[in-house]
A and B are shown apart, each in its own frame.
Chain A
Amino acid sequence: MTAEKILEFKQVALAFGETEVLKNIDLTLDSGQFYTLLGPSGSGKSTILKLISGQLQPSGGEVVFDGKVINDQPAEKRRVNTVFQNYSLFPNMNVYDNVAFGPRLKKMSETVIEEKVKEMLSLVKLSGYENREINELSGGQQQRVAIARALANDPELLLLDEPLSALDYKLRKVLQTELRTIQRRLGITFVFVTHDQEEALAMSDWIFVMNDGVIQQQGTPEDIYDEPVNHFVADFIGESNIVPGIMKDDYLVHFVGKDFESVDAGMRPNEAVEVVLRPEDLDLTTPEEGKLSVTIKNQSFRGDYYEIMAQDDDLNLWQVQVTNPAEIGARVGLTFDPEDIHIMRYNESEEDFDARLEAYEDDETPTDPSDSADKVPEVFDHE
């Protein structure tokens, strides 16, 4: 990436008394990107947002904005604006005055402000709503006004604190697309906080997965989905079948009592690992052709696919997503390709994980050239 660095956290920590909310966070944001902080509630993602906006001060480390340490700079002095989860529009003002709030504080002339407000409202598709009162607007419209109000301040960084979580599914989808479009058009850095992994994967250039006050993994949506670094990430992002296994040798993994060919390497021989198989990578076939024999236990219709729970002979449950229905109680085979198997080492840090990946992908001796062909670009992609 050639973009310049806009914000940096250097070993930033935050503790309230004994409780550590953030533990030595390092992160870098480049300009013009759409970032997402993804994690369950209490993971520290909103705390990072508040440290950027100035609502909170770190108890350790440095927050660097445009090359300057801004730990103690008050919120009103920062060129950062926030879109709040509950919209937080001023109820005593109409739409126009809400959007004009920031520019008016900057003592811009009314004609400039009027132009600005018109531009921002058309950006969020609310042209003609200038004189509406806030309580006359629907939730979706209110959130659009909140976005326009924040953008009217010309921020270098826009923070969005779960802005879509109060909206219904359809509207959320629409606003996701619109936010992405607005971000691309304006070229402003967006930092979006959500606990919705689907939302994060759909919108972001780069995702930070948070848990327990620590960044568990960061990368492009594809990286994070395809190469989760640990059990938490694999479980939190998407659906996963996670079983314990043993890495017998490079490209050979042993789990549920059988040996399987894989595309992972760089572990100690016979190291205990966790094996991840995504439900959509598993296919049903005849028992003879399957790599595993399973019995269909349960099936539910999900609209665009069927979700099947199947049990193997060791009583492991496998979640499978298929387009055609199966018969409950039937004996079938479960099949998957070597590249569908993702191996995770216990307690491997993200740096070690990246380093290992690079080490064995460089002097690649692929077991199957056609598999690695679509594998390599992804790995380069996240550097």
Chain B
Amino acid sequence: MKIIERTWLTFAFFLLYAPILFLVVYSFNSGEAMQGFDGFSFVHYQELWQDTRLLQIVLNTLILALASSLIATVVGTIGALAIFRTQRKLLKETLLGLNNVLLVSPDVIIGAAFLILMTALGLKLGFVTVLLAHVAFSIPIVVLMVLPKLQEMNRDLVLAAQDLGATPTEVLTKVTLPVISPGILAGFFMALTYSLDDFAVTFFVTGNGFSTLAVEVYSRARQGVSLEINALSTIMLFVAFIMVLFYYGYSQKQKGKKTKLKEKVK
């Protein structure tokens, strides 16, 4: 039984990581294609370093992701607060429903819809339109992450703060926002990854002169993927890996701190 379990797990992880491993290995290929490994070299990394267009696009993608997720976090948090405070049940359910519809509807439809809207408005397709679209599809994600934190929050905390003399603004900034901050942070990072990932929506609303990584890789892939992309992917994987390790270390440390303090109390 144990052997079957272990084999299955190995097989599953192999399926998940094999393509990635394949990609990473070929990034060090001295040859030009993914057919046959000709020898180890950093030549594609050098190419990448000289490809200013691709580096510019990486930068664009990061700026776009940061900007859109920041705006979406602010708007989404305000939205979650508004939905949470809605007294009428029907209205509340409707708002929440509308929010969730955006989450589950296919990217292609959202992208097409934005394209139609923006051309109708006469906006020039480029950074601004992509930003707007990314903000729009990120908001529901933030709302979805923040709302449960608000519902979990002990409602008497607000009463207690008021009781101690806090004005409505002070209640919000000193109590409500700090208490729901884990949800806000989670919403921000979810929005960030969604924006970094996005291909379909961006593809629709972007114009000449602005491209994100996903769109660029797609258009290059039509002429056969250059190993430069492999090199870039390897670097990004490495960064992601380091970040995950860092987060793991951080959360272990937090846990350790808490148990140590608990022992001290006893």
Q: Are A88 and B159 in contact (CB under 8 A)?
A: yes
Q: Which 3 interchain pairs have the tightest Cβ spacing? A: A92-B178, A88-B156, A102-B164
By a beta-carbon cutoff of 8 Å, the part of chain B in contact with chain A is: 154, 156-157, 159-167, 170, 174-175, 178-179, 181, 261-262, 265
Q: State in angstroms the CA–CA spacing of A74 and B171 once bound together.
A: 14
**Within 8 Å of chain B (Cβ to Cβ): is A84?**
yes
Q: Are A102 and B159 in contact (CB under 8 A)?
A: no
Query: Which A149-208 residues sit within 8 Å CB-CB of chain B?
Result: 149-150, 153
Q: State in angstroms the CA–CA spacing of A80 and B160 once bound together.
A: 11
> From DSSP, what is the main secondary structure of chain B's interface residues?
helix
**Within 8 Å of chain B (Cβ to Cβ): is A133?**
yes
Q: Are B162 and A88 in contact (CB under 8 A)?
A: no
Interface residue from B154, B157, B167, B174 paired with A76 (Cβ < 8 Å): B167
Interface residue from B154, B161, B181, B262 paired with A101 (Cβ < 8 Å): B161
Name the residue on B nearest A91 (C-beta).
Answer: B179
Cβ contacts under 8 Å, A321 to chain B: none
Query: Which A113-171 residues sit within 8 Å CB-CB of chain B?
Result: 132-133, 136-137, 149-150, 153
**Within 8 Å of chain B (Cβ to Cβ): is A326?**
no
Q: Are A75 and B162 in contact (CB under 8 A)?
A: yes
Cβ contacts under 8 Å, A136 to chain B: 261-262, 265
**Within 8 Å of chain B (Cβ to Cβ): is A230?**
no
Interface residue from A81, A89, A91, A132 paired with B163 (Cβ < 8 Å): A81
CB distance from B255 to the nearest CB of A (A): 13
**B interface footprint on A239-277 (CB within 8 Å = 1, 0 otherwise):** 000000000000000000000000000000000000000
Cβ contacts under 8 Å, A53 to chain B: 163
**Within 8 Å of chain B (Cβ to Cβ): is A367?**
no
Q: State in angstroms the CA–CA spacing of A374 and B163 once bound together.
A: 45
Name the residue on A nearest B181 (C-beta).
Answer: A92
Q: Are B164 and A149 in contact (CB under 8 A)?
A: yes
Q: State in angstroms the CA–CA spacing of A41 and B168 once bound together.
A: 30
Q: Are B166 and A105 in contact (CB under 8 A)?
A: yes
Q: Are B163 and A101 in contact (CB under 8 A)?
A: no
Cβ contacts under 8 Å, A150 to chain B: 163-164
Interface residue from A88, A105, A106, A153 paired with B157 (Cβ < 8 Å): A88
Q: State in angstroms the CA–CA spacing of A54 and B165 once bound together.
A: 11
Question: In the complex where A92-B178, A133-B261 touch, is A86 in contact with B156 (Cβ < 8 A)?
Answer: yes
Cβ contacts under 8 Å, B162 to chain A: 54-55, 74-76
Q: Are B160 and A106 in contact (CB under 8 A)?
A: no
Q: Are A106 and B175 in contact (CB under 8 A)?
A: no
29 A-B interface contacts by CB (under 8 A):
A53-B163, A55-B159, A76-B164, A76-B165, A80-B163, A81-B163, A81-B164, A82-B160, A84-B159, A84-B160, A88-B160, A89-B160, A90-B160, A90-B161, A90-B178, A90-B179, A92-B175, A92-B179, A101-B164, A101-B174, A102-B164, A102-B165, A105-B164, A133-B261, A136-B261, A136-B265, A137-B265, A149-B164, A150-B163
Name the residue on B nearest A74 (C-beta).
Answer: B162
Question: In the complex where A92-B178, A133-B261 touch, is A84 in contact with B164 (Cβ < 8 A)?
Answer: no
Interface residue from A80, A90, A137 paired with B175 (Cβ < 8 Å): A90
Cβ contacts under 8 Å, B154 to chain A: 86, 88
Name the residue on A nearest B261 (C-beta).
Answer: A136
Q: State in angstroms the CA–CA spacing of A81 and B161 once bound together.
A: 10
Q: State in angstroms the CA–CA spacing of A89 and B160 once bound together.
A: 8
Q: State in angstroms the CA–CA spacing of A136 and B265 once bound together.
A: 7
Cβ contacts under 8 Å, B179 to chain A: 90-92
Cβ contacts under 8 Å, B265 to chain A: 132, 136-137
Q: Are B163 and A82 in contact (CB under 8 A)?
A: yes
Name the residue on B nearest A131 (C-beta).
Answer: B261
CB distance from A133 to the nearest CB of B (A): 7
Q: State in angstroms the CA–CA spacing of A84 and B262 once bound together.
A: 25
CB distance from A131 to the nearest CB of B (A): 10
Q: State in angstroms the CA–CA spacing of A54 and B166 once bound together.
A: 13
Cβ contacts under 8 Å, A101 to chain B: 161, 164, 166, 174
Most chain A beta-carbon contacts within 10 A, residue among B157, B164, B265: B164
Cβ contacts under 8 Å, A76 to chain B: 162-167
Cβ contacts under 8 Å, A86 to chain B: 154, 156
Q: State in angstroms the CA–CA spacing of A95 and B1 once bound together.
A: 52
Q: Are B156 and A84 in contact (CB under 8 A)?
A: yes
Cβ contacts under 8 Å, A88 to chain B: 154, 156-157, 159-160
Cβ contacts under 8 Å, A55 to chain B: 159, 162
Cβ contacts under 8 Å, A80 to chain B: 163
Query: Which A85-115 residues sit within 8 Å CB-CB of chain B?
Result: 86, 88-92, 101-102, 105-106
CB distance from A363 to the nearest CB of B (A): 51
CB distance from A138 to the nearest CB of B (A): 8
Cβ contacts under 8 Å, B163 to chain A: 53, 75-76, 80-82, 150
Q: State in angstroms the CA–CA spacing of A101 and B175 once bound together.
A: 10
Cβ contacts under 8 Å, B160 to chain A: 82, 84, 88-90
Q: State in angstroms the CA–CA spacing of A106 and B174 once bound together.
A: 14
CB distance from B24 to the nearest CB of A (A): 42
CB distance from A149 to the nearest CB of B (A): 7
Q: Are B178 and A106 in contact (CB under 8 A)?
A: no
Instruction: Apart from A75-B162, A101-B164, list 17 A-B contacts with CB within 8 A.
Output: A75-B163, A76-B162, A76-B165, A77-B165, A84-B160, A88-B154, A88-B156, A88-B159, A90-B157, A90-B175, A92-B181, A102-B165, A105-B165, A106-B165, A132-B265, A136-B265, A153-B164
